[in-house]
Structure 1
Amino acid sequence: MKIIEKMNIEKLNVIYQIFNEKDLLRKLSHQGIIKLHNFFQDENYVYLVTELANRGDLGFLIKNVSPLAINKSMIQFIIAELLMPLEYLHSIGVSHRDLKPENVFVTEEGHLKL
């Protein structure tokens, strides 16, 4: 679940981007892109309820795994897992625009999703 404080949305003037992200996530269909199940808001927050990615994000994984575990095959796996959904997005004219480890989710099975 992604929780965004409305005060931050207003400060950064990104209301349009949040609603655009919601609409886009509902339309996308790819195994490498996290699914949006629900969207709602209350007085203070906007909530995007997504499929479960209970192993956190790639940033957390990189920070908490032993440096010895990050080898060539792991890097190849990460690249391969990210190239497929990025290729899909680009094929339909969509750019991610905020690709960073914290925005890559890790599923229980160890797969990566944007």
Structure 2
Amino acid sequence: MPANHQRYSEWDSARFLKWAAGIGDSTKEVVQKLFDSYRVEEQAYKGCLSLLKLADKYSPERLENACRIALIRIPNPRYKNIRLILESGQDKKGDGTLQSYSSSSNKYACVRGASYYGGGSHEE
């Protein structure tokens, strides 16, 4: 193997899942979904590593909240989905937002809202 590939040789899914479990259950579930989405386990390593390193940039708590939100909104969340949630601060909005999404009968998130389509109220 080339030298840049050899550093990944001691890694496996158990190591990533243990690392993710240290952050939280939602993060572990996202990592598991990443592994499940690839036929070859090694193909998921880069995405898992990038995802778990977000805890260094933001915080483990914020990463866990972002993963929880992503699991509610997206069937198979990826690194980019989680990163965008963290960058936009959607993970900081509190539990009220999470409850409204989880109790909603619609499984798709409302992306733009009423103001985008010409205002909130059409009553005159």
**Higher percent of residues as strand:** 1
TM-score interval (norm. to shorter): under 0.3
The TM-score with structure 1 as length reference comes to: 0.25
